[in-house]
Amino acid sequence: MNEGDTDRRIVDGRFELESRLGGGGMGTVWRARDLLLHRHVAVKEVRPPDVDLAEYDPGAAEMLRQRVLREARALARVEHPNVVTIHHIVDGGEGTYPWLVMELVQGGSLADRLERGPMTPAEAARLGSGVLDALNAAHAAGVQHRDVKPANVLLRTDGRPVLTDFGIAAIRDATALTATGSIIGTPDYMAPERVSGHSGGPAADLWSLAMMLYVAVEGHHPLRRGTTLATLAAVLQEEVPPPVRAGSLTPVLSCVLVRDPEARPDAGTVSRMLAVAAAQPEIRGPETTSYPLAPPAPVVLPPTGDMQAVPRRSRPGVAVASSVVGVLLIGTLAWKVLPGGNSDDKGDGVGSLGTGQTQQSSPTATPSNSASAKTTDLLAPNGIRTAIKAIEKETGRDSFGDLSVYPEYVIAEVMVKGSKTKYDTYTYRLGGGVEKGIISGKLGDGWEPVDLQKFQWDAVPALLARAAKVLNVKNPTSRYLLVEGRWNVFNEPAHMSVYLGDDYGSGYLEADPQGKVIKTYPADG
């Protein structure tokens, strides 16, 4: 800090502090302006809770200084778009505390985001994929983060995550600084092996990532207790309760949040499972979103060696990973027992019409093309046409990325005008009009928008009737139609698929736009 500056706080004669972004027990992060390069940056001012530490314990103060310098070196070794970039370090030498100058990430932290409510499973999975990419880059450079938590994940304005605060990262050639017997990390997110005194490895960072995602979708921490000691004891001794809101993310959480690090999947497997979870339709409880619950469309992964791009939805002809089967079973169970599915729940569920009434699920019998289908079942020709017309009228757009039709609502990826890849999501509810969704994005590699004008909706009842006969789902608890455009990766034309599911699995048949069945995939017997 420059001496004599009363109105302007300038660090190293170059970085003018403008406003406080956040802080904790070890210092404060400031928004600052780089007076030399005329850009905004984040400046981390490191200060211990006891400002007199340097006077009565100079050894501890010097260890803190070395730890901060170590953070800078750790960050400099990891070059990745999901890891915060460090620009400069201000070090006054022994007896001082350094300042770190980093890129300014302006979207707030994940902790800030979660204060507004939980995430959907797909949203959390996408975020988790970005953080995992950052961890993989760090691990490849010999760096373990050791403190993955919502406060240490920053968000760019477009939602992409950036991992920060490598101040306690363990580097292979500098482990002595952590060999003091003190607890390093946030107890809530520490892996059991680290709580028990072991240094842990990359698997410990995966535990922290999974616990963070658990909190993101469930809205609470499953092992947090009233005191730090009680929390540490819970991490060591208690099983993580199964999540109830995680939907397609459940397989990831169940596999990773186990006490034995050897039993956890490796980072590559976790990455593929997150890609599957991110590709599923949104499944959330009614208290956090207006999005309806929906049974997930099956998503399949290419073989591990061919993991160039994961399709955003199902692609037949490729082996189904075991984790995907878990996603399907869990998603179907969620559809059965949670409000808005075919259950006996009479509360204010996702079928709410906005008038204090609740929309009851349609019967699972094959729908007809009668006039009553207009008002009781959207999964019929007139219902589909009504939903498409309403969405086009509300949005002023007539190009779609895909269309998912359920008995009581329709979810559409509506293409942004002038773009062949960008879309916004909209939901049309039976009796409730059109509502803009919370998800926007881009079509996956090789996907084209679908021309809905080319589809023969009058063929849908016959497809549903055939599905009921051949898909081996005797008492379906969920049924829906998925309409997709051309997929150039495997040269597959536009098509529509009818899905039926129950508590034990699901099957589907695929047809061309005119309703001719192309492929059939029955549920396992």
Do 393 and 478 lie in one domain? The reply is: yes
**What DSSP letter does each residue of 341-388 carry, written as one string?**
SSSS--SS-TTB-SSS-BPPPPPSSPP--STTHHHH-SSSHHHHHHHH
pLDDT of 143 reads: 78
Would you say 36 and 96 are in contact if contact means Cβ atoms under 8 Å apart? no
Do 94 and 118 lie in one domain? The reply is: no
pLDDT of 62 reads: 76
Do 269 and 381 lie in one domain? The reply is: no
* Burial class of 241 by CB neighbour count within 10 A (0 to 12, 13 to 18, 19+): exposed
With respect to residue 508, please indicate whether it lies within any of the assigned structural domains: yes
Q: Enter the DSSP assignment of 138.
A: H
With respect to residue 303, please indicate whether it lies within any of the assigned structural domains: no
Residue 119: which pLDDT band, with cuts at 50, 70 and 90?
very high
Do 129 and 270 lie in one domain? The reply is: yes
What mean pLDDT, rounded, does the chain reach? 75
Do 262 and 245 lie in one domain? The reply is: yes
Q: Which two tokens stand for residue 374?
A: 């207009």
With respect to residue 199, please indicate whether it lies within any of the assigned structural domains: yes
pLDDT of 136 reads: 92
Q: How far apart are CA 458 and CA 448, in angstroms?
A: 24
pLDDT digits (tens, 9 = 90+) for 29-78: 889 999 999 999 999 877 665 556 556 667 776 777 777 777 677 777 78
Model confidence at 188: pLDDT above 80: yes
Do 11 and 121 lie in one domain? The reply is: no
Tokens 């850009």, residue located: 39
Q: How far, in Å, are 120, 221, 403, 521 from residue 484 at the CA level?
A: 23, 38, 7, 17
State mean pLDDT over 370-399.
Answer: 82
Range of the domain at 56: 1-104
**Closest CA relative to residue 91, chosen from 38, 158, 45:** 45
pLDDT of 312 reads: 38
* More reliable by pLDDT, 271 or 173: 271
256's CB contacts (< 8 A; 6+ apart) are: 206, 207, 209, 210, 264, 265, 270
165 annotated active-site: no
Residue 138: which pLDDT band, with cuts at 50, 70 and 90?
confident
Q: Which two tokens stand for residue 140?
A: 């490849």
State mean pLDDT over 234-248.
Answer: 90
Q: Where among 279, 310, 339 does a domain terminate?
A: 279
Would you say 323 and 276 are in contact if contact means Cβ atoms under 8 Å apart? yes
With respect to residue 338, please indicate whether it lies within any of the assigned structural domains: no
Single-letter amino acid code for the residue at 191: A
Q: How far apart are CA 383 and CA 425, in angstroms?
A: 19
Residues paired with residue 352 on neighbouring β-strands, in sequence order: 358
* More reliable by pLDDT, 478 or 461: 461
Q: How far apart are CA 447 and CA 492, in angstroms?
A: 10
With respect to residue 304, please indicate whether it lies within any of the assigned structural domains: no
State mean pLDDT over 376-381.
Answer: 88
HSE of 273, CA atoms in CB hemisphere, 13 A: 26
State mean pLDDT over 131-145.
Answer: 87
Q: Where among 279, 306, 323 does a domain terminate?
A: 279
**Closest CA relative to residue 421, chosen from 461, 448, 394, 383:** 448
* More reliable by pLDDT, 371 or 111: 111
Residues paired with residue 416 on neighbouring β-strands, in sequence order: none
Would you say 456 and 513 are in contact if contact means Cβ atoms under 8 Å apart? yes
H-helix or E-strand containing 202? helix 202-218
Model confidence at 289: pLDDT above 50: no
pLDDT digits (tens, 9 = 90+) for 77-90: 788 899 988 888 88
CA 480, 251, 248: angle at the middle one, nearest 5? 30
190's CB contacts (< 8 A; 6+ apart) are: 183, 204, 208, 232, 235
Q: How far apart are CA 505 and CA 330, in angstroms?
A: 9
**Closest CA relative to residue 350, chosen from 271, 274, 430:** 430
Do 121 and 164 lie in one domain? The reply is: yes
Q: How far apart are CA 199 and CA 179, in angstroms?
A: 9
Do 23 and 111 lie in one domain? The reply is: no
pLDDT digits (tens, 9 = 90+) for 479-502: 889 899 998 766 789 999 998 877
Do 497 and 516 lie in one domain? The reply is: yes
Do 83 and 162 lie in one domain? The reply is: no
With respect to residue 450, please indicate whether it lies within any of the assigned structural domains: yes
Residues paired with residue 127 on neighbouring β-strands, in sequence order: none
CA 87, 91, 96: angle at the middle one, nearest 5? 140
Q: Enter the DSSP assignment of 109.
A: B
* More reliable by pLDDT, 166 or 179: 166
State mean pLDDT over 3-15.
Answer: 69
Q: Where among 72, 104, 136 does a domain terminate?
A: 104
Domains identified in the chain, total number: 3
Q: What share of the chain is helix, strand, coil (3-state, %, to 5)?
A: 35, 20, 45
pLDDT digits (tens, 9 = 90+) for 316-365: 332 223 333 333 333 333 332 233 333 333 232 222 222 222 233 333 33
Active-site position among 12, 52, 57, 147: 147
With respect to residue 349, please indicate whether it lies within any of the assigned structural domains: no
Of 139-143, 451-455, 505-509, the one with minimum mean pLDDT is 505-509
With respect to residue 361, please indicate whether it lies within any of the assigned structural domains: no
pLDDT of 28 reads: 80
pLDDT of 522 reads: 86
Do 100 and 188 lie in one domain? The reply is: no
97's CB contacts (< 8 A; 6+ apart) are: 27, 45, 46, 47, 48, 61, 64, 65, 68
Do 207 and 97 lie in one domain? The reply is: no
